[in-house]
Structure 1
């Protein structure tokens, strides 16, 4: 395991960015497989509490995947085919790699109680909008989609941080 918090957080941030771009630029099963490798690297070299963090990553990937599934089913998101029945595996992969940041490179966001409520409704929709500009997803009605994404992130992001604090307190340090 890497000892320096700064180095671990920097690598964590870079791994997330690489994982996000791979998933968005090459959406599919192979991108999700690449994310599995990134998460394995994260657990081996960055995580200090591997089992707890793996459980947290899994919980967040499931919750995020369910939320994205709702957005696909309600027309907030589209993959261009209009026939998504389950959340695409590469999007679940993005949730998994994103979850690694909550105890590392994005842990600072928990430093102020109000910060997640300000950052999430902006940063979350921005990620989907960026993915839409790169062709990975579509936002059929831009305004409605961004507002729905903002509302969803306003709820899910603080909820994930709360889940980490309550169920996995060793990750919140």
Structure 2
């Protein structure tokens, strides 16, 4: 404890701007929160359901939500982060590797993502790259500077080869 240098001098009452002591969250600070959000792991759907056939492409899509909104408190500021799935990487489970798209696909007949396989058993999965915008205390929206990814659960299926057999129609 020190010794006071002098007495208190009354100056009156006034408001003091403390904004500089607690500035609004920066994009980099919001990004650190964005990376830790519980973003959904999108499910990989495929058609035909169950086993596929060689010569008939397997259709991939996800019907999981591709947008999500989060409200977080950062140092007393209310920050709303609106996350959007921006890129979908479909891991096909075979030697061809992956298919990257900007749409979540759709089931037949509106499908946009398909892959042909040889006979065998395959495990496919989906990696989603998320981007976001944010607002601070209801202000103007700004882009979160960076992306993050989620890995969806894998799905395993067999691709069978159908063989034609000629039969006598009179038997």
Q: TM-score, normalized by length of structure 2?
A: 0.27
Of Structure 1 and Structure 2, which has the larger fraction of its residues in helix?
Answer: 1
Compare CA radii of gyration and give the structure with the larger one.
2
Of Structure 1 and Structure 2, which has the larger fraction of its residues in strand?
Answer: 2
